[in-house]
């Protein structure tokens, strides 16, 4: 059975011509003797036969249109930054409230709900320690850095939850993407399951 | 006589436009195979080249520029796939994904179910399958782009295909219909 598992791992690479000669010989020798692996090979060949490039049609002027769209978006980003730079000091609190309001309604603010779940607290801790600390609300960032050596894990969790709820920072879905970018696929799927199993 | 900074910026813009023209088909093809939807693929392509434009001053020429652009595209792609999974977890499913899945259930042939099946793989395995099978890159190239060893790329590919086989079995696809 152990040899069958190894051969199964090699069969996709055997079919795509990516095995070393010695491995290729082992696969061919084993296939001649093992009907189970032969059947597996047939199934894998059928699958690999449909995994072939299909033609993607691209309009002849797509490249030119793409360049124009990119330049427009870059200009738009520059204009938005300039607008915030000049508008916020001049219109003050009113603009800030409108922008925050739009941010919250447009970006599915979830921090209040998620703060009750340890998963979002873990995310903010990870973000603080990874390269994405600029995405952490400042008050939460300060709390994590100040308290880690002085409080127990439970105390930190409790305090962070209170801070996150108090800040009520809009947490667009993208922040969670950024925060989880450093996780491997397995850890990412585990975190999603933790969130899924959380009930309010 | 234009200032040096103006001349430099016109030259940079021209150089960037050439980069876009030389690489856009490959990058757009990658995203079309990944998301299927034309509008999303277009958006991701634009975001990739915007990132390229913003990061060009930091390009250290440790790899070819094509590989570097691919890496930026893959990061965008992986983030997009994770964003979709998070949105599904939160119950914020994309309407077009739901439509596509209900359409493909009408015909249980392998080709029709291929994209939904690939979408069920972990994001990194999806990338390896797309880069190897559809973009036809070698494992050596895939390893450089995904920052892994060549052997790891091969192992990922093998596991991805075995997982795809299981996914098809669960979907009730018979291998005679592939």
Retrieve residue A182's tokens. Answer: 């450093």
Retrieve residue A87's tokens. Answer: 């508008």
Instruction: Round the CA-based radius of gyration of chain B to a whole number and report it.
Output: 19
pLDDT score of B23: 92
Which among B50, B123, B178 is the nearest to A70, CB-wise?
B50
Which among A12, A43, A63 is the nearest to B157, CB-wise?
A12
pLDDT score of B24: 93
The length of chain A, given as a count of residues: 200
What are the φ and ψ backbone dihedral angles of B165, each rounded to 5 degrees?
-60, -45
Tokens 């030259």 -> residue: B11
Assess B58–A contact: CB distance below 8 Å, yes or no. Answer: no
Please check the confidence at residue A200 and state whether its pLDDT lies above 50: no
Assess B114–A contact: CB distance below 8 Å, yes or no. Answer: yes
pLDDT score of B163: 92
Percent of chain A with pLDDT over 90: 22
Which among A16, A43, A50 is the nearest to B111, CB-wise?
A50
Instruction: Round the CA-based radius of gyration of chain A to a whole number and report it.
Output: 27
Of A45, A39, A46, residue with least CA distance to A16: A45
Task: Give chain A's mean pLDDT.
Answer: 70
C-alpha distances (whole Å) from A24 to each of A7, A13, B144, B155, B156 are 10, 9, 25, 16, 19
CB A189 within 8 A of CB B122: yes
CB atoms within 10 A of CB A7: 21
C-alpha distances (whole Å) from A73 to each of B49, B51, B80 are 11, 11, 19
Please check the confidence at residue A33 and state whether its pLDDT lies above 90: yes
Alpha helices in A92-172 (DSSP H): 93-106, 111-115, 118-129, 138-147, 153-167
Q: What is the dihedral of CA B15, B17, B18, B21, to 10 degrees?
A: 160
- Torsion-angle region of B168 (φ positive above 0: left; ψ -120 to 50: alpha; else: beta): alpha
Higher model confidence: residue B112 or residue A181? B112
Q: What is the dihedral of CA B118, B123, B129, B132, to 10 degrees?
A: 150
- The span from the CA of B90 to the CA of B99, in Å, is 18
- The span from the CA of A166 to the CA of A186, in Å, is 32
Handedness of CA A40, A42, A47, A51 (dihedral sign): positive
pLDDT in tens, A116-166: 555 566 666 665 555 444 555 666 666 666 655 566 666 766 766 666 666
Tokens 């060893």 -> residue: B149
pLDDT score of A186: 74
**DSSP 8-state code for residue B133:** I
Of B63, B77, B61, B79, residue with least CA distance to B144: B63
C-alpha distances (whole Å) from A60 to each of A65, B21, B24, B73 are 10, 11, 12, 22
Rounded to an integer, the average pLDDT of A41-49 is: 92
**Helix count (H) and strand count (E) of chain B?**
8, 0
pLDDT score of A157: 65
Mean pLDDT, chain B cut into blocks of 10 residues (178 residues total): 52 82 92 86 92 81 84 85 73 48 50 82 88 92 88 93 90 72
CB proximity under 8 Å: A 50-69 to B: 50-54, 56, 58, 62-63, 66-67, 69
pLDDT score of A59: 84
Assess B164–A contact: CB distance below 8 Å, yes or no. Answer: yes
Q: Which residue of A has its CA nearest to B87?
A: A173
pLDDT score of A52: 84
Q: Which residue of B has its CA nearest to A186?
A: B122
- The span from the CA of B2 to the CA of A50, in Å, is 57
B33 CB neighbours in chain A (<8 A) are 56
Task: Count residue pairs from A and B with Cβ separation < 8 A.
Answer: 120
CB atoms within 10 A of CB A20: 10
pLDDT in tens, A78-98: 776 665 555 555 555 454 545
Q: Are A74 and B53 an interchain contact pair (Cβ–Cβ within 8 Å)? A: yes
Q: Are B111 and A48 an interchain contact pair (Cβ–Cβ within 8 Å)? A: no
Q: Are A53 and B134 an interchain contact pair (Cβ–Cβ within 8 Å)? A: yes
Assess B108–A contact: CB distance below 8 Å, yes or no. Answer: no
> Nearest CA to CA, how far is B6 from chain A (Å)?
17
Tokens 């390269």 -> residue: A131
């Amino acid at each position: 059975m152990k040899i069958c598992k190894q051969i199964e791992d090699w069969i996709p690479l055997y079919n795509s011509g990516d095995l070393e000669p010695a491995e290729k010989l082992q696969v061919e020798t084993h296939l001649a003797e093992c009907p189970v692996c032969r059947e597996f090979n047939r199934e894998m060949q059928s699958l690999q036969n449909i995994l072939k490039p299909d033609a993607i049609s691209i309009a002849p002027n797509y490249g030119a249109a793409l360049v124009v769209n990119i330049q427009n978006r870059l200009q738009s980003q520059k204009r938005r930054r300039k607008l915030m730079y000049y508008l916020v000091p001049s219109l003050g609190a009113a603009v800030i409230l409108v922008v925050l309001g739009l941010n919250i309604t447009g970006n599915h603010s979830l921090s209040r709900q998620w703060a009750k779940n340890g998963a979002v607290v873990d995310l903010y801790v990870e973000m603080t320690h990874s390269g994405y600390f600029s995405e952490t609300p400042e008050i939460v960032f300060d709390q994590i850095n100040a308290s880690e050596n002085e409080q127990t894990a439970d105390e930190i969790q409790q305090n962070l939850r209170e801070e996150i709820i108090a800040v009520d920072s809009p947490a667009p879905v993208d922040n969670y993407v950024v925060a989880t970018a450093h996780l491997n696929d397995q850890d990412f799927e585990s975190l999603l399951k933790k969130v899924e199993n959380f009930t309010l | 006589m234009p200032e040096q900074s103006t001349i430099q910026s016109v030259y940079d813009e021209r150089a960037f436009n050439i980069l876009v023209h030389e690489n856009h088909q490959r990058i757009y093809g990658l995203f079309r195979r990944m998301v299927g939807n034309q509008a999303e693929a277009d958006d991701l392509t634009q975001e990739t080249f915007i990132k390229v434009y913003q990061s060009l001053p930091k390009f250290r020429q440790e790899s070819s520029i094509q590989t570097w652009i691919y890496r930026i595209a893959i990061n965008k792609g992986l983030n997009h796939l994770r964003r979709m999974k998070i949105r599904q977890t939160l119950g914020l499913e994309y309407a077009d994904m739901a439509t596509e899945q209900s359409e493909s259930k009408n015909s249980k042939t392998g080709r029709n179910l291929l994209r939904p099946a690939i979408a069920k793989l972990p994001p990194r395995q999806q990338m390896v399958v797309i880069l190897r099978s559809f973009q036809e890159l070698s494992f050596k190239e895939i390893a450089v782009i995904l920052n892994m060893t060549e052997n790891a790329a091969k192992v990922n590919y093998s596991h991805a295909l075995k997982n795809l086989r299981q996914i098809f079995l669960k979907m009730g696809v018979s291998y005679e219909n592939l």
